[in-house]
Amino acid sequence: MGKNKLRKFAEMEQFPRVLQVPFAKLKEEGFAMRGRWHDEFFGNRNPIVLELGCGRGEYTVGLAREFADRNFIGIDIKGARMWAGAKEAHLAGMENVGFLRTNIELLGEFFAPGEVAEIWITFPDPQMKKVRKRLTATNFLEMYRTILTPDGIVNLKTDSPFLYEYTSRLVDLNKLPIIKRTDDLYGNPEGVDRILNIRTHYEKQWLARGLNIKYLAFRLPAEVGLEEPDASDIEFDSYRSYGRNYNDNGTDSTAIS
C-alpha cells in the first residue's frame, strides 16, 4: 500500500465523524450504534439519508450543505477516496454528515429497520454481466427496505444506459411508485432542482464526453413483492470508464502534449 493511502487512512482515524469497523470486530461484537444513529451520532431526529458507493463524497457533502434539516452518511469501502469528502466535512465542522467505511452488502449490520429515510446510488458500476451485483437488483432492494422507513425513497443517478433501462424495467414490472424519471437530466436545465444539480467528479467526466445523465427516483413499499425483469435484450454500454488519470475536463493528466 502506498504512503499516500496510509497517510489518508491515518488521518481519517482522527476524524470523529468517520467510522471504520473491521469486519472481524463487526461479526464478533456487532455494531453498538445500530438503531441509535439519531441519538448517539447526530443528536437529533432528522431523517437519515445514505449515499451508497459515495466515492469522494461530493454528493454526501453537497446534500448536507443544502439540507441542514437532514442527516447524511456516505458509505464506501474505498477509504482513500472517501478521505476527500470526509476531510472537507471535518474542516467545515459539518455536524449533519458522516462517513462509514464498509461493504454495502453489510448495511443491515449497521442500521436498524426503519432507521433510514432515503438512499442515493450515484454512478455505480452497472455490473452488466452480474445481476446480483447491480445495486438496483432485487436482492439489494430487498436489503434496502429492511432499513428504510415504509415507502422509503431510492434515487439512482447514472451515466449508464444499460443500468437505467434495467432499473426502469424493474420499477415498472413491480409497479413501484415513481417520483421522477428522465434519461436526459440536464436536457432541460430549468427543470433541475438543487439536489440533482450537484455534480460529482465522475459525472463531470461523463458530461465532458457528451453523455446524458439519467435519473430515476422511486418509492420502495414494504409490502410489494419484487421480481427481476427480463434484461436479455438490453444492449450493453458501448463505452468504457476513464482511468484514474483523467481529470474533470475529460483529458488525460499524464498525456504529453
Q: Residue type for 163, please?
A: L
Whether 237 sits among the annotated catalytic residues: the reply is: no
11 membership: H or E segment, kind and range = helix 3-12
Residue whose C-alpha cell reads 436536457 in the numeric block: 187
Kindly name the residue from 125, 151, 184, 252 that is annotated as catalytic: 125
Alpha-carbon distance of 3 to 153, in angstroms, equals 40
SS3 label, residue 216? strand
Instruction: List all residues 6 or more positions away from 14 whose beta carbon is below 8 Å from its beta carbon.
Output: none
Q: What are phi and psi of 178, to 5 degrees?
A: -90, 130
With left for phi above 0 and alpha for psi between -120 and 50, is residue 31 left, alpha or beta?
beta
Q: Which residues are catalytic?
A: 125
